[in-house]
Structure 1
Amino acid sequence: MYIHAVSHYLPTEVVGNEHFTQLNGLSNEWIIERTGIQERRKAATGENTNTMAVEVTKRLQEKTDLSTVDLIVGATYTPYDTIVSLAHEVQHHLGIPDIPVVSVSTACSSLLNAIEVAEGYFALNKATRALVIVSEHNTAYNNEQDKVSGHLWGDGAAALLITKERQNEGDFAIKSLLTGGAAHTPKATTGVMMKPMDGGVTMPHGRDVFINACQYMPKASQQILDRCGLTLDDVDYVLPHQANLRISRNVMNTLALPESKLISNIERLGNTGCAGCAIALSEQWDMFQKGQRIVVTVFGGGYSYGAMLVEV
């Protein structure tokens, strides 16, 4: 598989830490020390998961032709409409008839599961060009007055054109991809929850989330390298789920890799859920050099995890 093109969309409103200082007394220094977050983006009135998905698709259309897409896979845990998914909204925008259109949710790991769905369609010869869209409207469900997690969340979206065969020399090769569920662990199903009718986003067991994320992301990263016959010395960058800068640094420390190889956007964007890694990939796309290898590793509530090795 190959990533032929990628785009991202961020709402224009920037919410700094001072907002939470005024709201519930959390200082800028306290938030940065514990999360690394300095600011985040918030969707405007009238924006939602589906509108951001369409907007980011328009941006991808400016880069590449989407008229021959034969599969659309959407991913989110913050749906605007639980019947008309973001993937269906994008199909409606593109006007492409009679193709598979599906949506998946494995919390913040959904990006890799969405790409894995495309991999399955490719393997069965049911598709060759997949549009994968990840979009999160966290602030629609967030309780800003929650001192545990109210300051973590940001909004944004990204889109990727994934192809079965290489389209041109600039494509990024997906060398291997793995995902898994870790719901067998004791607090997996209560660590992070989002119940629209019962309090929105809550994180009753934040420490357990932290501990498991710090275990599963480096573990999955090592597994994906082993599959490809590579070592950590072959890694140029690590792109972890943008949940918490302390988690990202812990992952790098566990892998014994320097922080200079860490890709992070959480400082500017907060936790943008399953869109975070794809947004960062889009932001850095033109900065990568031929031959470089990027390990994308994710962890989400539930719990879910995964890793993907990408080669430029």
Structure 2
Amino acid sequence: MYIHQVAAYLPAEVIDNAHFTRLNGLSHEWITERTGIRTRRKAAPDENTNTMAVEATRRVLAQAPDFPAASIDLIVAGTYTPHDTIYTVAHAVQRELDVSDIPVVSISSACSSLLNAVEIVEGYFALNKASRALVVVSEHNTAYNNDLDTVAGHLWGDGAAVLLISKERLAPTDLFVRDIRTGGAGNIGKANESVTLKPVERGIVMPYGKDVFIHACTYMTRVTQQILERNQLSVDDVTYLIPHQANLRITKNVIQQLGLPEDRAVSNIEELGNTGCAGAAIALASTWPELRPGNHIVVTVFGGGYSYGAMLLER
């Protein structure tokens, strides 16, 4: 299968680190040293997970005149910050497209939902139940976040991205999804309590960030190595590594373990903060114009609940 196009939507409001200095005394230097984050985006009062996803959908379709809405026969959406748990982000996108009687799926596997969504599409394609799909990832972290939380309140940003995926190649610029591998490690470490969002109790909290850091570095490195080995490729063959955009220190640790030059890692955490499962897709959208024939791109992710995965793409 092939990624035909990708587009992102980011809210206009920019929140800098000085905001948190005023609220809770965390300095710009303290935040950047530990996370790399300098700014993040915040959805406007009239925006939410669904509206951001719809805007990203409009943008991606505008970029792909040969992928009309009427041809889409599957929508898979991922988020852990839903605007509505019943009328989901996938339903909102379907309503925008005005396409009836197609499979519409919403999933949540924390920050790794992007790859789980792509893998679901792969399954539908394999069963001949669909041939053109939308993968939608959207996070409204600031709706659930407490800015006064000195442990994790400064980490989060909002944004959305949409991928157009087809069973057959539609254009020379399409990215071939050569391989995808996902897994769950919810049975290890503090996966059950390290990052939680329990809407009836409280918003996003991260009491055990060190445990997240350790396992994210371990699993993102390991699954990247596995997918390269499975496809007879080496680290030298990787043009770009697009990691989950959670913490710049995690990215640097992973590329150091892999032996990958720093300039091959794509990062938007500095400007956007942690945009959850949308982060890697937003990074792919920004990297898209730089891609050339023969390029190999690895997307590697890790999320709360300790779900993880890697996807190998080639132009």
TM-score (norm 1): 0.99
Distance, in Å, in 1 between the alignment partners of 2:52 and 2:232 is 38
The corresponding residue for 1:168 is 171
Deviation at 1:186, TM superposition (A): 2.9
Matches within 5 A, 1:58-73: 58-64=58-64, 65-73=68-76
Distance, in Å, in 2 between the alignment partners of 1:186 and 1:56 is 36
Determine helix, strand or coil for the equivalent of 1:257: coil
Distance, in Å, in 2 between the alignment partners of 1:268 and 1:200 is 23
1:17 partnered with 2:5: no
Q: Runs ≥4 in structure 1, deviation > 4 angstroms?
A: none
The corresponding residue for 1:132 is 135
User: Please, which of 229, 241, 263 is the counterpart of residue 226 of structure 1?
Assistant: 229
The corresponding residue for 2:262 is 259
Deviation at 1:121, TM superposition (A): 0.1
Alpha-carbon RMSD:
0.7
Determine helix, strand or coil for the equivalent of 1:67: helix
Distance, in Å, in 2 between the alignment partners of 1:115 and 1:61 is 18
User: Please, which of 157, 160, 167 is the counterpart of residue 160 of structure 2?
Assistant: 157
The corresponding residue for 1:103 is 106
Deviation at 1:287, TM superposition (A): 1.2
Determine helix, strand or coil for the equivalent of 2:37: coil
Deviation at 1:161, TM superposition (A): 0.4
Determine helix, strand or coil for the equivalent of 2:70: coil
Deviation at 1:46, TM superposition (A): 1.1
Distance, in Å, in 1 between the alignment partners of 2:202 and 2:251 is 28
1:241 partnered with 2:229: no
The corresponding residue for 1:250 is 253
The corresponding residue for 1:2 is 2
Deviation at 1:57, TM superposition (A): 0.6
Determine helix, strand or coil for the equivalent of 1:126: coil
Gaps of 5+ in 1: none
Deviation at 1:197, TM superposition (A): 2.1
User: Please, which of 186, 194, 197 is the counterpart of residue 194 of structure 1?
Assistant: 197
Deviation at 1:265, TM superposition (A): 0.3
Say which is worse superposed, 124-133 or 223-232, in terms of deviation: 223-232
TM-score (norm 2): 0.98
Determine helix, strand or coil for the equivalent of 2:45: coil
The corresponding residue for 1:44 is 44
Between Structure 1 and Structure 2, how many residues are aligned? Answer: 312
Q: Is the 8 A contact 2:57 2:162 kept in 1?
A: yes
Amino acid in structure 2 at the alignment position of 1:15: I
The corresponding residue for 1:209 is 212
Deviation at 1:224, TM superposition (A): 0.7
Deviation at 1:258, TM superposition (A): 1.1
Amino acid in structure 1 at the alignment position of 2:114: L
Deviation at 1:130, TM superposition (A): 0.6
Distance, in Å, in 2 between the alignment partners of 1:108 and 1:186 is 17
Deviation at 1:239, TM superposition (A): 0.6
Distance, in Å, in 2 between the alignment partners of 1:234 and 1:2 is 20
Deviation at 1:232, TM superposition (A): 1.1
Amino acid in structure 2 at the alignment position of 1:302: G
Deviation at 1:66, TM superposition (A): 2.4
Deviation at 1:290, TM superposition (A): 1.4
Q: Is the 8 A contact 2:69 2:99 kept in 1?
A: no
Determine helix, strand or coil for the equivalent of 1:132: strand
Deviations 1:20-76 (A, max 9, x none): 000000000010000000000000001000011111111112112222000000100
Gaps of 5+ in 2: none
Distance, in Å, in 2 between the alignment partners of 1:37 and 1:307 is 24
Distance, in Å, in 2 between the alignment partners of 1:33 and 1:288 is 31
